[in-house]
């Protein structure tokens, strides 16, 4: 089977790693994502990953925590590195070679983010996990995902969620919500569909980077997307 895409960036939320838990990491979810990623690397697809940190800490909760936004954002960036290390361990346990690159230097646990080195790793078939967001406060990990995808010349960004695409309303709350198979960037903006924050979304739009939103929790879905099957919603 020939994959439709050669180089992808997979964006996962930190919450997706919690599984059924209320906090932290669920080994079953880590194993699930690792197996799905391995299935596409075996086809020769080059995979980069960006993970959020919301399962450990969210920098935006200033009113609740009393921690100022910029300081909290740096804490959130460190949380993404913990998640990246966890996914790296799960991937390497099943024989997938990986590299973790951090936008904040921490030499003992990760390489510094160097664009050309990241591309070289991908060309050699290694999964590259980008940690610590963009390295700057006030930018989300969605923005980091869009930015890294553009920098490494990815064919598209895959946003893994709990639902199987983009709907006219939240399908978990509204039974009348309609699923879209395809949207333009302008459609998504006009309808106020919160696919990503506006900074991340604008980056994709300006650089003509397609976005596919799909259910990453369903086994085999990632492989189906890569194979060009009609899974999720594509924005382009």
Q: Where are the domains of the chain?
A: 7-235
Fold held by 7-235: Carbamate kinase (3.40.1160)
- The 3-class SS string of the chain reads CCCCCCEEEEEECCHHHCCCCCCCCCHHHHHHHHHHHHHHHCCCCEEEEEECCCCCCCCCCHHHHCCCHHHHHHHHHHHHHHHHHHHHHHHHHCCCCEEEEECCCCCCCCEECCHHHHHHHHHCCCEEEEECCCCCCCCCHHHHHHHHHHHCCCCEEEEEECCCCEECCCCCCCCCCCEECEECHHHHHHCCCCCCCHHHHHHHHHCCCCEEEEECCCCCHHHHHHCCCCCCEEEC
Average pLDDT of the segment spanning 142-163: 96
Summarised one tens digit per residue, pLDDT across range 89-115 is: 999 999 999 999 999 999 999 999 999
How much is the pTM? 0.95
Average pLDDT of the segment spanning 108-127: 98
Average pLDDT of the segment spanning 136-146: 97
Residue, of 152 and 190, whose pLDDT is higher: 152
What percentage of the chain carries pLDDT values higher than 90?
86
Average pLDDT of the segment spanning 139-161: 97
Mean per-residue pLDDT of the chain: 94
């Amino acid at each position: 089977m020939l994959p439709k895409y050669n180089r992808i960036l997979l964006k996962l939320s930190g919450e997706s790693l919690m599984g059924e838990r209320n906090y932290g990491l669920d080994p079953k979810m880590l194993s699930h994502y690792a197996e799905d990623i391995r299935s596409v690397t075996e086809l020769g697809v080059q995979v980069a990953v960006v993970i959020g940190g919301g399962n450990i800490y969210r920098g935006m909760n200033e009113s609740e925590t009393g921690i100022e936004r910029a300081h909290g954002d740096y804490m959130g960036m460190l949380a993404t590195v913990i998640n990246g290390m966890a996914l790296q361990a799960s991937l390497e346990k099943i024989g997938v070679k990986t590299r973790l690159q951090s936008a904040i230097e921490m030499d003992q646990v990760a390489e510094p983010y160097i664009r050309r080195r990241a591309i070289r790793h991908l060309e050699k078939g290694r999964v590259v996990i980008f940690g610590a967001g963009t390295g700057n406060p006030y930018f989300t990990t969605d923005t980091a995902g869009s930015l890294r995808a553009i920098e490494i010349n990815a064919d598209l960004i895959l946003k893994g969620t709990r639902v199987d695409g983009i709907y006219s309303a939240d399908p978990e709350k509204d039974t009348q919500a309609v699923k879209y198979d395809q949207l333009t960037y302008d459609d998504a903006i006009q309808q106020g569909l919160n696919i990503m924050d506006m900074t991340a979304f604008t980056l994709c739009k300006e650089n003509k980077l397609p976005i596919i939103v799909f259910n990453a929790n369903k086994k085999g879905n990632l492989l189906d997307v890569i194979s060009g099957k009609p899974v999720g919603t594509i924005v382009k």
